[in-house]
C-alpha cells in the first residue's frame, strides 16, 4: 500500500519533477522522512531519478514519475490481487474514459473510440462534453464529442452522427469537428458552444496537449 506521505509526494511529482529538498519544504516534512519515502518508491519503480546536478554545497537529484503508473487493486470472491501497471497512451485513453462520472456511458464511448482509432492520423484531440461529461445525462441522452482534426470534412462525414453499441441497445454520438485553428477562433469570439465545451469537457485523447492548455 502507498503511505500518505508517498501519495503526497506522488501528487507533487505529477505537476513537475522535484528535488528531495523541494519536496521536504513543500510538504513540511523532515528530510529523513522524504528520503525514506523516495527510496521505497524508487525500489518499486514508481518514481525514478532523472538527473543529478551540482549545487552550491552538494549535488542534488531530481525525481520524476516518468510516464506514470496505475495502482490496481481487486478483491472479489475467490480472488484478491494488487499490482502496479505502467501507463502507456492506450491505457491513458481508457483511464480518461473511465473517469467520466456515469459508468453506464463508458462502453459506448469506448466503442466510439475503437472506430475512431482507424482515423487517428488526422485526429489531434478528442473530448467528451455536455451532460455526459458533467455526469448529469439521462439514460437516452446523446453523447457529445469534440474532435480536432486536420481533415474535418472527412471526420465529420464519418462521425458527425453515429450510433454505437449492440444492435437494439445503441446510443447516438454527436461529434463537433473542427480544425485546431478554427476552434481557437470561435473560442476567442466566445462562442457559446466553444465555451460550453471548454467548461465541461473530459479529455480523452490529447497527445499534443492542445485541449489541456485551455482547460
pLDDT, residue 128, reads: 98
Task: Please report which confidence band the pLDDT of residue 89 belongs to, taking 50, 70 and 90 as the band edges.
Answer: confident
pLDDT, residue 76, reads: 86
Domain positions in the chain are 4-64, 89-205
| Fold (topology level) of 89-205 | Beta Polymerase; domain 2 (3.30.460)
DSSP string covering 84-123, please? EEE--HHHHHHHHHHTSS-GGGHHHHHHHHHHHGGGTTSE
Condensed to tens digits (0 to 9), the pLDDT of residues 160-205 reads: 999 999 888 899 999 999 999 999 999 999 999 999 999 999 999 9
pLDDT, residue 59, reads: 66
pLDDT, residue 57, reads: 62
Average pLDDT, the chain: 91
pTM here is 0.76
Condensed to tens digits (0 to 9), the pLDDT of residues 58-82 reads: 667 899 988 888 877 888 898 898 8
8 A C-beta contact, residue 49 and residue 31: no
Reduced to 3 states, what is the DSSP secondary structure of residue 6? helix
DSSP string covering 179-212, please? -HHHHHHHHHTT-HHHHHHHHH-EEEE-TT-TTG
pLDDT, residue 61, reads: 86
Condensed to tens digits (0 to 9), the pLDDT of residues 100-116 reads: 999 999 999 999 999 99
Percent of the chain past pLDDT 90, that is, above it, reads 70
Query: Same CATH fold, 89-205 and 4-64?
Result: no
CA distance 40 to 134: 38
pLDDT, residue 2, reads: 82
CATH of domain 4-64: 1.10.10.10
Amino acid at each position: 500500500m502507498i503511505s500518505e506521505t508517498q501519495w503526497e509526494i506522488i501528487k507533487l511529482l505529477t505537476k513537475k519533477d522535484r528535488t528531495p529538498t523541494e519536496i521536504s519544504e513543500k510538504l513540511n516534512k523532515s528530510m529523513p522522512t522524504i528520503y525514506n519515502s523516495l527510496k521505497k518508491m524508487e525500489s518499486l519503480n514508481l518514481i525514478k531519478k532523472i538527473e543529478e546536478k551540482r549545487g552550491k554545497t552538494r549535488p542534488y537529484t531530481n525525481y520524476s514519475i516518468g510516464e506514470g503508473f496505475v495502482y490496481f487493486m481487486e478483491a472479489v470472491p475467490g480472488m484478491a490481487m494488487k499490482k502496479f501497471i505502467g501507463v502507456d497512451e492506450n491505457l491513458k485513453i481508457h483511464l480518461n474514459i473511465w473517469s467520466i462520472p456515469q459508468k453506464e456511458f463508458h462502453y459506448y464511448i469506448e466503442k466510439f473510440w475503437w472506430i475512431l482509432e482507424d482515423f487517428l492520423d488526422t485526429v489531434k484531440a478528442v473530448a467528451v462534453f455536455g451532460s455526459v461529461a458533467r455526469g448529469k445525462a439521462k439514460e437516452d441522452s446523446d453523447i457529445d464529442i469534440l474532435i480536432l482534426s486536420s481533415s474535418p470534412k472527412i471526420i465529420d462525414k464519418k462521425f458527425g452522427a453515429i450510433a454505437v453499441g449492440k444492435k437494439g441497445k445503441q446510443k447516438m454520438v454527436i461529434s463537433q469537428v473542427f480544425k485546431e485553428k478554427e476552434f481557437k477562433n470561435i473560442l476567442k469570439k466566445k462562442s457559446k458552444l466553444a465555451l460550453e465545451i471548454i467548461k465541461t469537457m473530459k479529455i480523452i485523447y490529447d497527445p499534443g496537449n492542445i485541449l489541456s492548455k485551455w482547460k
